[in-house]
Amino acid sequence: MIKVYFEDESFWDSNGCDCCENTYMEVFNFSHIDGVNNPEKYQSYDYEIYNSSKYSEWDCLVSVFWDLVADKRQYDHFYDMCEVFDNIDEDDIVNMLSDKGIEVIFLEEWIA
């Protein structure tokens, strides 16, 4: 089983004034991966899971699919593949990843 970990680094954003409500900003960053040979290679900008913050759990799931499952020859770009997923819900992609032996885990605090 391959396990891909993302740190939940979401936060409340303050506008700086008392009259405005704070906004909750979801942010997830790749932490680490278990169950693969050479896990450190996934910590490079060649991999979508590592490349930039994700702004929802959905973005994390799609990036894992892109890096570990997708036949990239079918798509010109990561975001082209995301458009294909417009009609797929989160449970569907979780099941697709699970069928491939991949689990995505969201950490509240980083675990060494």
Query: pLDDT (tens digit, 9 = 90+) per residue, 80-103?
Result: 878 878 788 899 999 999 999 999
What does the pLDDT look like over 19-71, one tens digit per residue?
Answer: 777 888 899 999 999 999 999 999 999 999 999 999 999 999 999 999 999 88
What backbone torsions phi and psi does residue 47 show, to the nearest 5 degrees? -115, 130
- The answer, yes or no, to whether residue 110 has pLDDT greater than 60, is no
* 112 assigned to some structural domain: no
* 85 assigned to some structural domain: yes
**Residue range of the domain that includes 82:** 2-107
Q: What letter would DSSP give residue 74? A: G
Instruction: Give the burial string for 5-18 (b: 16+ CB within 10 Å, else e).
Output: bbbbeeeeeeeeee
Q: Give which of 39, 40, 79 is closest to 59, Cα–Cα.
A: 79
Q: Give which of 105, 35, 96 is closest to 66, Cα–Cα.
A: 96
* 12 assigned to some structural domain: yes
- How many domains is the chain built from? 1
Give bridge partners of residue 97 from the DSSP assignment.
none
* 86 assigned to some structural domain: yes
> Mean pLDDT, to the nearest integer, of 7-14?
87
